């Protein structure tokens, strides 16, 4: 008796995420594939069934992006500071592959850094998240909307996946342990250096372009840190018609520098 071979979906979605956010990635993979049964498969690098041990990791990722019809990227305040997420998103953008950012764990879609800010992002906390996610995938891949989705169960598992995420409590450079609860903004070495530069320079030297050049930080990466400093109310952005915007240290930022003996 001949055994029918299992058909392999011709379309693929690449799900980009940092390693510690794997619990959420695996949950989303399970539910999205269940909603669109047999229409496509989702490549999740943390799933050992997709990327077995021993495979050449980088080549497997490159092949997955090349064959992807769309890219979903998990965006948190932690992950958007990581260059690999930007690398994968930028690669999909260059190849004109549709990108769907999914914001979670406090990351708002209107504060996403570039190039993620170019795309139509979704927020897990939105009551319409499941509907918007399925609709977005359907439009991007030209598929019919699936029916009978257990949205309550899906949202429950997504929230459980987010709770399993463990955000690293230290950063590169001098070790900085985050307070819990977070009563004050504790900066890693690079944001602190940016804050010091802004506080000790005239405003003409504090445009994003000039800061990136003097600090030798890629403009996209610098933008993430500047937004982080603005969120903490340590700096503010000034805009003058007909000229580049520039950044100034706030009173809170100056107090921070003095309190932590950074100047």
C-alpha closest to that of 33 among 55, 54, 49, 57: 49
Quote the percentage of the chain above a pLDDT of 90.
30
pLDDT of 158 higher than 60: yes
Instruction: Supply 38's token pair.
Output: 């047999």
- Angstrom distance (rounded) from CA 222 to CA 218: 6
Under the banding of pLDDT at 50, 70 and 90, the label for residue 46 is low
**Dihedral in degrees, nearest 10, Cα atoms 231, 216, 246, 223:** -40
pTM over the 0.75 mark: no
Residue 102: beta bridge partners?
Answer: 74, 122
pLDDT of 178 higher than 90: no
Contact between residue 80 and residue 89 where contact means Cβ atoms under 8 Å apart: no
For the domain 11-163, what is the CATH code?
Answer: 3.40.50.10140
- Within the chain, all domains assigned CATH 1.10.10.10 are found at 189-259
**CATH topology classification for 189-259:** Arc Repressor Mutant, subunit A (1.10.10)
Quote the percentage of the chain above a pLDDT of 70.
82
- Angstrom distance (rounded) from CA 200 to CA 213: 16
Residue 101: beta bridge partners?
Answer: 73
- Chain centroid to Cα 138, Å, comes to 22
What is the DSSP annotation of 10-26? SEEEEEE--GGGHHHHH
pLDDT digits over 183-230, tens only?
Answer: 345 566 788 889 999 999 888 889 988 998 999 888 888 888 888 888
pLDDT value, residue 19:
85
Q: Taking the CA atoms of the chain, what radius of gyration do you get in angstroms? A: 21
Calculate the average pLDDT of the chain: 81
pLDDT of 17 higher than 50: yes
Dihedral angle sign, alpha carbons of residues 254, 180, 162, 165: positive
**Dihedral in degrees, nearest 10, Cα atoms 111, 117, 119, 123:** -20
- Within the chain, all domains assigned CATH 3.40.50.10140 are found at 11-163
pLDDT digits over 56-101, tens only?
Answer: 556 666 777 778 889 999 999 989 888 778 777 877 888 888 999 9
């Amino acid at each position: 008796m001949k055994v029918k071979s299992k058909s392999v979906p011709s379309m693929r979605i690449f799900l980009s995420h940092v390693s510690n956010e794997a619990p959420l990635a695996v949950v989303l993979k399970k539910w999205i594939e269940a909603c669109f049964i047999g229409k496509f498969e989702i490549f999740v690098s943390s799933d050992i069934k997709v990327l077995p041990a021993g495979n050449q990791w980088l080549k497997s990722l490159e092949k997955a992006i090349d064959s992807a019809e769309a890219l979903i990227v998990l965006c948190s305040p932690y992950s958007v500071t990581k260059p690999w997420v930007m690398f994968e998103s930028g690669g999909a953008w260059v190849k004109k592959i549709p990108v769907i950012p999914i914001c979670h764990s406090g990351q708002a879609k209107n504060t996403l850094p570039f190039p993620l800010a170019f795309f139509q992002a979704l927020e897990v906390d939105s009551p319409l998240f499941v509907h918007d996610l399925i609709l977005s995938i359907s439009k991007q891949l030209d598929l019919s909307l699936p029916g009978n989705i257990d949205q309550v169960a899906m949202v429950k598992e997504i929230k459980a996946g987010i709770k399993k995420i463990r955000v690293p409590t230290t950063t590169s450079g001098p070790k900085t342990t985050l307070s819990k609860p977070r009563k004050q903004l504790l900066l890693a070495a690079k944001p602190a250096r940016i804050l010091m530069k802004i506080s000790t320079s005239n405003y003409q030297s504090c445009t994003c372009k000039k800061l990136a050049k003097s600090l030798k930080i890629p403009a996209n990466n610098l933008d993430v840190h500047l937004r982080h400093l603005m969120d903490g109310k340590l700096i503010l952005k000034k805009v003058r018609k007909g000229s580049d915007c520039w950044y100034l240290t706030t009173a809170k930022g100056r107090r921070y520098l003095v309190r932590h003996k950074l100047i």
